[in-house]
C-alpha cells in the first residue's frame, strides 16, 4: 500500500458553514455602517445621529442575515424528511 493510499481523506468545510465567516459578517456590517454614519455626521455636523442610526441598521441587518441563513440550513437539513412531506389526501 502506498503512502498516498494510506492518507485519510481531508474534509474542508464549505465557507458558508464556517463560524469565523459568520462572526466576521456579524461584525463587519455594523462597523461599516457606523463608519459611514460617522462620516456623514462629520460632513453634516449633526453629532452622533447618523452614526447611531446606521450602526443600528447594520446590527439589524446582521441579525436578519444570520436568521435567514439559519432558516435555510434547517430547511436544507429537513428536506425529504417524513415530517416535511405533505399528505396524499
Determine the Cα angle at 69 with ends 68 and 75, to 5°: 85
- What pLDDT sits at residue 27? 92
Q: Report yes or no on 3 lying in a domain.
A: no
- In angstroms, the first-to-last Cα distance of the chain is 57
Residue 2, domain member (yes or no): no
pLDDT tens column, 41-57: 999 998 899 999 999 99
Confidence of residue 77 (pLDDT cuts 50, 70, 90): confident
- Residue 29's CB is within 10 A of a number of other CB atoms, namely 21
Q: Which domain holds residue 37?
A: 21-77
pLDDT of residue 34: 93
Task: Tell whether the model's pLDDT for residue 58 goes beyond 80.
Answer: yes
Tell me whether residue 88 is in a domain: no
Decide if 48 is inside a domain.
yes
| CA 18 to chain CA centroid, nearest Å | 10
Residue 61 in domain:
yes
At residue 87 the predicted structure's pLDDT band, cuts being 50, 70 and 90, is low
Residue 15 lies in a domain: no
State the total domains in the chain. Answer: 1
The DSSP secondary-structure symbol of 46 reads -
Q: Is 42 among the domain residues?
A: yes
Amino acid at each position: 500500500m502506498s503512502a498516498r493510499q494510506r492518507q485519510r481523506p481531508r474534509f474542508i468545510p464549505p465557507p458558508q458553514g464556517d463560524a469565523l465567516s459568520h462572526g466576521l459578517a456579524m461584525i463587519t456590517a455594523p462597523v461599516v455602517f457606523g463608519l459611514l454614519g460617522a462620516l456623514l455626521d462629520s460632513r453634516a455636523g449633526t453629532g452622533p445621529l447618523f452614526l447611531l442610526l446606521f450602526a443600528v441598521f447594520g446590527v439589524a441587518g446582521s441579525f436578519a442575515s444570520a436568521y435567514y441563513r439559519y432558516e435555510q440550513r434547517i430547511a436544507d437539513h429537513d428536506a425529504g424528511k417524513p415530517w416535511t412531506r405533505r399528505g396524499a389526501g
